[in-house]
Structure 1
Amino acid sequence: MPSVDNHYSQSLQADDILNRLATAYPEGPNTYQLAPIDQLHIGGIKASKKLSQRVADLNASTVLDVGSGLGGLLRVCQQQHNALYVSLDITHELSKINHQLNLLSKKNSMVITGNGQKLPFPDHSFDVIIMQHSLLNMPDKISTLKECKRVLSPNGHLILHEVLKGDNYQEMQYPVPWARHPELSHLISEEEITALINTTHMQIQSMEDWTEEALTWRARQTSKQETPQAPVVSPNMILGSEFAIMGKNVQRNLQCNAIRIVELVIC
C-alpha cells in the first residue's frame, strides 16, 4: 500500500533545489521566489496570505502548522505577525528541506518531524494550529482533531484550509498533488467534518467556501504551465513529472464539483 511519506519523497530533488536557490539568490530567496515549491496547496501564496491575516487578527503568540510540507505557509505568516512558529510534518525529507529553506531565507521557525494524529507536544502549547491541506492525508481524523484540541490553549483556535468532497465526488480524477491513488486521499464532506468537530466538543466559528477563487487560481496556473519558461525551481522537483497532470486534474475536479475548498475557524 502506498504511504504518505513515499508519495512526497519519491520524486524529491532536495540537493538540486537547495543548490539552485543558493546560487540564484545569494542574499536569500523571498516568499515569491520559493512559491513554486512551497506553496503547492490549492490557492497558492494568495491563500497563505489570507491565512496569515487570520493568525495576525487572532494575535497568536504560538502557532503550529500541522502537515507543513516545506514550510511556505509559516514563512508567509512571519512576514506579517511575530510569534513562535512551529512546523510539523510526517515526511522527514520535507522537514529537512524546510529547515534549510528557513536558513536560506533568514526565517526563524522550529521544524519537527512528527505525526499529526499524535502530536508530540504538551497540553495547551499553542494559541493557533493551522492545517493547510493536511487532513486529506490523515485517515484518523478524529484523533487528529482531539490532539489539536489537547495542545491548544483554552482560548485557542484551529484553522483548517481543506479540500472537501463535492456533490460530484464520484467523478474525482487522479493523480492529484496529495495522492497519486485513491488510497492516500482521505477526503470527507462538509457534513462529516462538522460532525467530527462536534464530537470533539469544539465549535465552528466560521466557514468560508474558497472554491471559486481556487478554480480561478488553478486555471491561471495551468495556463502558466503551458507557457515555456525556465524557473529556478519548479513543482516537478517536489512531485515529479506527473505534476502537470495533477494540476489539470485539480482544475477538472473543481470544475465538476468533485471537490470543494473551504476555510474553517474552530474554537
Structure 2
Amino acid sequence: MTDRTRDRDARLINDHYDALAAGGEESLVQRLHAAFVAAGRDPGTLSLDEVAGIDQLHLGGRAASRSLAALGELRAGQRVLDVGCGTGGASRLLADEAGCEVVGVDITIAFIEVAEWLSAATGLSARTRFLCADAARTPLPDGAFDVIWCQHALMNMPDLAGVLAEWRRLLTPGGLVLLHEVVAGDNPEPLALPVPWARTAATSHLQQREAFQASLEAAGFVPVSVRDVTATALAWRQKHGHREAGTEPPPNLPGPALIFGDEFAEMGRNLRDNLAAGRVRILEGVWRLA
C-alpha cells in the first residue's frame, strides 16, 4: 500500500467519524463539553458511568467489553494496546476494572482528543495514554505489549495484513489478541448503508469469517477461543433502537448522536437489519501469538 493510498484512507476515516466538524460545526470536544454542561455535569470531573454513552462505540457497549476481557482472562499489570480505541472507553474500562496499563491508538484525530480529555476527567490518565497513528505503522517499540485488544475497528482497515504484521511485532512472545469484530455474513446482498463504521462502501472493509480467521492464522496467531455472538449483538441493537426511535425516554447524558449526527438513528436501524438478514456477523475471540 502506497503512502498516498494510506493518506487517502486516513482522510476518509477522519471525515466519516468527524463528519459534523468537517461540515462546519464545533469540534467534537466542544460539542461534548457543552452537552455535559447542559446535562448538569462538570466536564472536568466525570464518572465512567456518565461517559459510557460516548466512549463505548461498539455493539454491546460495556457488557461486550467485559465479556471479551473475561474471555481473555486479563490480569492486573498487563500491558494492553487498544487498537482503534475511538474515544477510549475500553482503554479506561480495562485500566479501571482489570488493572491493566493501556495505550490506545486511533487514526481519527478527534477521537484521540476526546479520549485524552475523558481519561483526565475520570482520573485514569496515569494508566491510559493515547496516540493518533495508523494501526499498521505505529511508533511503538517491538514487544511492548502483552495483549492486543480490538473492538469493531478492523472493518475500517484496508491493510489487514499490514495491521497483523504490526501486531506480531508489538506483542511479546505468546502474547494474546482479543477481538470483538464485525465480519461479512453469509448473505451476499449489499449492506444497507449508512452504518456506524461507514456511510459508503469506501470505508467498509468487511471480510468473510473464514478469510478473516485464515489471515490471523497465516500471520502466526493461533485461535484459543472463538465464538459467534451475533444473536447477543442483535438483541442489544434492537433494545437500543427503541430508545433512539423515541419509544423510550431519551437519556439525559450525551450519546452517539453527538458524534455521528442525525444519521445515527438510521445507522443503528441499518446495522440491526444487516445483522438480522445475515449480511454481517459478530465474532468474539482470543488468539495467541505462536
TM-score relative to the length of structure 2:
0.87
Matched, 1:121 2:121: no
**1:247-262 pair list within 5 angstroms:** 247-262=268-283
Secondary structure at the aligned position of 1:25 is classed as coil
Matched, 1:229 2:245: no
Provide the rounded CA distance (Å) in 2 between the counterparts of 1:265 and 1:232.
33
CA contact 1:60–1:127 (8 Å) conserved in 2 = no
**1:45-194 pair list within 5 angstroms:** 45-54=62-71, 56-57=73-74, 61-108=78-125, 109-194=128-213
Matched, 1:214 2:233: yes
Q: Unmatched 5+ residue regions in structure 1?
A: none
**What is the aligned counterpart of 1:7 among 16, 19, 26?**
16
Provide the rounded CA distance (Å) in 1 between the counterparts of 2:37 and 2:284.
34
Provide the rounded CA distance (Å) in 2 between the counterparts of 1:100 and 1:19.
14
Secondary structure at the aligned position of 1:95 is classed as helix
- Number of the residue aligned with 1:25: 41
1:239-258 deviation line (CA, Å, top 9, x unaligned): 11100000000100010000
Q: Which stretch shifts more, 103-112 or 179-188?
A: 103-112
Provide the rounded CA distance (Å) in 1 between the counterparts of 2:227 and 2:100.
25
Secondary structure at the aligned position of 2:94 is classed as helix
Provide the rounded CA distance (Å) in 2 between the counterparts of 1:260 and 1:247.
15
- The code of the aligned residue for 1:197 comes to L
CA contact 2:190–2:279 (8 Å) conserved in 1 = yes
- The code of the aligned residue for 1:138 comes to M
Q: Which stretch shifts more, 16-25 or 127-136?
A: 16-25
Structure 1 residues 60 and 266, CA gap change in structure 2 (3 angstroms): farther
Provide the rounded CA distance (Å) in 2 between the counterparts of 1:182 and 1:105.
36
Deviation, structure 1 residue 210: 0.8
Provide the rounded CA distance (Å) in 2 between the counterparts of 1:28 and 1:169.
47
TM-score relative to the length of structure 1:
0.94
CA contact 1:166–1:189 (8 Å) conserved in 2 = yes
Deviation, structure 1 residue 171: 4.0
- The code of the aligned residue for 1:179 comes to A
Structure 1 residues 42 and 213, CA gap change in structure 2 (3 angstroms): same
Deviation, structure 1 residue 81: 1.4
Identity %: 33
Secondary structure at the aligned position of 2:14 is classed as helix
